[in-house]
Amino acid sequence: MKRTKLLLIGIVLFLFGCSDSASEIDSELDGGPNTECIPEFPGMDVTYANYVAGVLNKYCIECHHTGNSQGPGDFTTYSGVLPYAEKFLARVVPDNADMPQGSAPLPKAVRDSLNVWVKNCAPQN
């Protein structure tokens, strides 16, 4: 009899324990930041390390780096670039892009690749 009681208590605790953690996960999903992003070009692999970082180093960091008052942000690191990645779509990717400031838009193939990287959720790949 005692055993059955203990077992029952055990089962009740187990069930409550489960439902608690389940609702915790739910509220995390509901209340968390909206970071959900679905890659738009899942078959295309434009990497940060092998491609994007090189483009930014070549064309952008002369203005966009720490301590330089010319351009905002610091494009020398991934975490510095990430907050600006979405903005590349308006400022760097279009045919009439105004970045790099004071120069012609980047070559079309480069702009296309940046477009893929941003729309694939700007991964640190």
Per CB under 6 A, residues contacting ligand HEC are 59-60, 62-64, 70-72, 84, 87-88, 91-92, 99-102, 106
CB of 59 or CB of 125, closer to ligand HEC: 59
CB of 42 or CB of 67, closer to ligand HEC: 67
CA distance 77 to 57: 10
* Least gap, CB of 66 to ligand HEC (angstroms): 14
* Least gap, CB of 74 to ligand HEC (angstroms): 12
Contact 41, 33 (CB under 8 A): no
> C-alpha dihedral over 14, 19, 20, 25, to 10 degrees?
130
CB of 20 or CB of 98, closer to ligand HEC: 98
CA distance 100 to 20: 52
